[in-house]
């Protein structure tokens, strides 16, 4: 089962050995708010994420085509990019460090659940468990 890491005010990620995800208990963030656990996956050139309801969504492209054999990603929802990663795990870690709860949670509302017959096999792929802090009452949702 993937481990979740509680967060203070920024996303933090920890590598996890490949496993079939189950819904872990929500860690508690610094302000006493529950952090939301997600798992990121690298599968067949795509980045996927699952939530505590075991919904699986496709976040975007992950390519291994750098001239020096590095990985790069492009997320569909916000067009976030990253490149120059030594492996898929490093790319997932960068996504986890630069993604907010509001963005990732919104993807589960906006995107189709891939939990049916077309669900990719995620048992033995690079994956990363992350817990993102939910915004609290009075927190600014939009930066100025």
pLDDT for residue 141: 53
Residue range 21-50: average pLDDT? 74
pLDDT for residue 136: 74
> Is the model's pLDDT at 6 over the cut of 70?
no
pLDDT for residue 15: 43
Distance of alpha carbon 113 from alpha carbon 15, whole angstroms = 24
Distance of alpha carbon 30 from alpha carbon 35, whole angstroms = 9
Beta strands in 45-143 (DSSP E): 46-50, 56-63, 71-75, 81-85, 127-133
pLDDT for residue 68: 82
* pTM of this structure: 0.72
Backbone angles phi, psi at 80, to 5 degrees: -65, 140
Residue range 12-19: average pLDDT? 40
Q: How far is CA 75 from the centre of its chain?
A: 11
Largest CA distance in the chain: 46
- The pLDDT-based confidence of 122 (bands split at 50, 70, 90) is confident
- For 81-112, write each residue's pLDDT tens digit: 999 999 999 999 999 999 999 999 999 999 99
Looking at residue 65, the DSSP 8-state letter turns out to be -
pLDDT for residue 123: 86
C-alpha distance from residue 44 to each of 26, 68, 119 (Å): 29, 20, 12
HSE-up (13 A, CA, CB side) for residue 4: 23
Write down the mean pLDDT value for the chain.
Answer: 79
């Amino acid at each position: 089962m993937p481990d979740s890491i509680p967060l203070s005010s920024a996303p933090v990620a920890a590598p996890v050995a490949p496993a079939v995800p189950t819904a872990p208990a929500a860690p508690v963030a610094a302000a006493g708010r529950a952090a939301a656990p997600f798992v990121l996956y690298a599968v067949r050139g795509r980045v996927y994420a699952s939530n505590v309801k075991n919904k699986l969504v496709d976040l975007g492209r992950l390519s291994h085509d750098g001239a020096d054999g590095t990985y790069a990603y492009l997320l569909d929802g916000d067009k976030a990019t990253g490149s120059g990663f030594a492996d898929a795990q490093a790319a997932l870690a960068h996504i986890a460090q630069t993604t907010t709860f509001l963005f990732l949670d919104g993807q589960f509302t906006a995107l189709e659940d891939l939990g049916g017959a077309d669900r990719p096999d995620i048992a033995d792929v690079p994956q990363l468990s992350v817990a993102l802090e939910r915004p609290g009452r009075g927190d600014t949702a939009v930066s100025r």
